[in-house]
């Protein structure tokens, strides 16, 4: 295996970096195009709102705040930490038939599942980045508990958060979602295949080898004893990051108490760096990938989280459009440049918590 940082000192790779080149995503078996130096091209297109409007600690019109009425008429309890409920507009529902039909090239199957919404905090004006370690730790515990519970009945448990209007979040109240379903979705299939293939030939976990190769390298953004955050070598979104436990763990419920605590710490630091990068509440989609359930061999799988923020500059988002939709993903700054910028942004909140 290549030594840590090896590729970055390799002369052939250094020549590649300055010009358009493609990088291989070992986790999904896909290639992406890197065209460094295009970030300064003139932009007269859409500008994203800064998302800096100050929210109140409690919003009587919010369907996620404690005590308020939801769209289905239910009253939220007066919760004081986290709160989980079944999505009133669930995209997947328990008891759906999983029957398959196939006629010629046309194939379909029923998809059974469950969708939950998780409020991270009773405070309408909070974000994970601004919450206390103990509060985020409770979110981690809920992610793990929901995974465990939904995994008894569903094959794939997708924990995620859409943060900010730019990512389609319907409400600023800090919340995430959990969708669990009977099938392996597209991204899961790609990662399952790649990790199994790698484990089959090496006997090791792909992402643990990746962590060993990247630790101390130029793509590291954050690290502690249990976790590593890198802008992956193959990142597609401008400031995409990958968070991986440094020791074997296939799913969230396997994490012990110290790893959950240090996860809460590193999450806050990472998300704060994002906020401080452009001085705004950074929009993103994040989510966990963990070993599928109802399959015996979890050994090839290493738990990890993807952070996929859309912004390229403060008010300009990266559009994954023509070439990206029709050919392959393309990025305008190198993963190393993105990691450098994130390392340059403070991991500490600038001032007292708003409304606190």
Interface with ligand H2U (CB under 6 A): 63, 70-71, 87-89, 117, 162, 169-171, 177
Work out the burial of residue 95: count CB atoms within 10 Å of its CB; fewer than 13 is exposed, 13-18 middle, 19 or more buried: exposed
Q: Tell me the closest approach of the beta carbon of residue 142 to Zn ion, in angstroms.
A: 17
Q: Which of 231, 243, 80 is nearest to 161 (CA)?
A: 243
Which x/- pattern, by CB under 5 A, does the window 105-124 give for Zn ion?
-------------------x
Rounded Cα distance between 285 and 308, Å, is 5
193 binds, among ligand H2U, Zn ion, none (CB under 5 to 8 A by kind): none
Q: Contact with Zn ion (CB under 5 A): which of 26, 27, 32, 64?
A: 64
88 binds, among Zn ion, ligand H2U, none (CB under 5 to 8 A by kind): ligand H2U
Among residues 124, 154, 173, 175, the one annotated as catalytic is 175
CB 158 within 8 A of CB 69: no
**Is beta strand 330-331 parallel, antiparallel or unpaired with respect to 30-34?**
parallel
Which x/- pattern, by CB under 5 A, does the window 159-178 give for Zn ion?
--------------x-----
Q: Which of 158, 104, 336 is nearest to 235 (CA)?
A: 336
Q: Tell me the closest approach of the beta carbon of residue 158 to ligand H2U, in angstroms.
A: 12
170 binds, among ligand H2U, Zn ion, none (CB under 5 to 8 A by kind): ligand H2U
Q: Tell me the closest approach of the beta carbon of residue 66 to Zn ion, in angstroms.
A: 8
Which residue's CB is nearer to ligand H2U, number 69 or number 145? 69
Which residue's CB is nearer to ligand H2U, number 63 or number 79? 63
Specify whether 124 is catalytic: no
Q: Tell me the closest approach of the beta carbon of residue 172 to ligand H2U, in angstroms.
A: 9
Which residue's CB is nearer to Zn ion, number 173 or number 260? 173
Which residue's CB is nearer to ligand H2U, number 61 or number 71? 71
Q: Which of 276, 259, 283, 293 is nearest to 146 (CA)?
A: 293
Q: Which of 88, 344, 338, 138 is nearest to 235 (CA)?
A: 338
Task: Write down the H helix ranges in the chain.
Answer: 6-9, 11-18, 133-151, 186-202, 206-214, 257-278, 322-326, 335-344
173 binds, among Zn ion, ligand H2U, none (CB under 5 to 8 A by kind): Zn ion
Q: What residue is closest to Zn ion based on CB? A: 62
CA–CA distances in Å: residue 28 to residues 31, 186, 193: 9, 10, 8
87 binds, among Zn ion, ligand H2U, none (CB under 5 to 8 A by kind): ligand H2U
Which residue's CB is nearer to ligand H2U, number 169 or number 242? 169
Q: Which two tokens stand for residue 158?
A: 């997708």
| HSE-CB of 213 using CA atoms within 13 angstroms | 15
What are the catalytic residues?
A: 175
């Amino acid at each position: 295996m290549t030594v840590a940082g090896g590729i970055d000192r390799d002369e052939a790779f250094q020549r590649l970096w300055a010009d358009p080149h493609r990088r291989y995503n070992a986790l999904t078996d896909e290639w992406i195009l890197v065209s460094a130096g295009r970030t300064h091209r003139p932009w007269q297109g859409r500008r994203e709102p800064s998302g800096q409007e100050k929210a109140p600690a409690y919003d009587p019109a919010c369907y996620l705040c404690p005590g308020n009425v939801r769209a289905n008429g239910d009253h939220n309890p007066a919760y004081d930490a986290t709160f989980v409920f079944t999505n009133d507009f669930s995209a997947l529902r328990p008891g759906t038939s999983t029957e398959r039909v196939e006629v010629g090239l046309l194939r379909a199957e029923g998809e059974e599942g469950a969708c939950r919404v998780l409020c991270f905090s009773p405070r309408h004006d909070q974000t994970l980045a601004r919450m206390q370690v103990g509060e985020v730790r409770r979110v981690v515990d809920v992610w793990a508990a929901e995974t465990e519970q939904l995994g008894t009945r569903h094959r794939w448990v997708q924990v995620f958060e859409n943060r900010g209007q730019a990512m389609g979040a319907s409400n600023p109240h800090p919340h995430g979602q959990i969708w669990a379903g009977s099938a392996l979705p597209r991204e899961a299939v790609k990662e399952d295949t790649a990790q199994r293939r790698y484990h089959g030939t090496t006997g090791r976990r792909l992402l643990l080898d990746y962590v060993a190769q990247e630790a101390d390298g130029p793509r590291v953004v954050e690290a502690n004893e249990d976790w590593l955050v890198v802008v992956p070598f193959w990142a597609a979104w401008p400031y995409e990051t990958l968070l991986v436990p440094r020791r074997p763990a296939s799913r969230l419920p396997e994490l012990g108490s110290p790893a959950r605590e240090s996860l809460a710490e590193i999450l806050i630091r990472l998300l704060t760096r994002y906020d401080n990068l452009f001085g705004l509440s950074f929009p993103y989609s994040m989510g966990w990938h963990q070993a599928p359930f109802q399959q015996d061999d979890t050994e090839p799988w290493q738990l990890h989280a993807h952070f996929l923020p859309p912004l390229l500059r403060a008010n300009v988002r990266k559009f994954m459009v023509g070439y990206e939709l029709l050919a392959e993903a393309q990025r305008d700054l190198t993963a190393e440049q993105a990691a450098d910028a994130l390392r340059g942004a403070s991991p500490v909140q600038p001032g007292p918590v708003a409304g606190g």
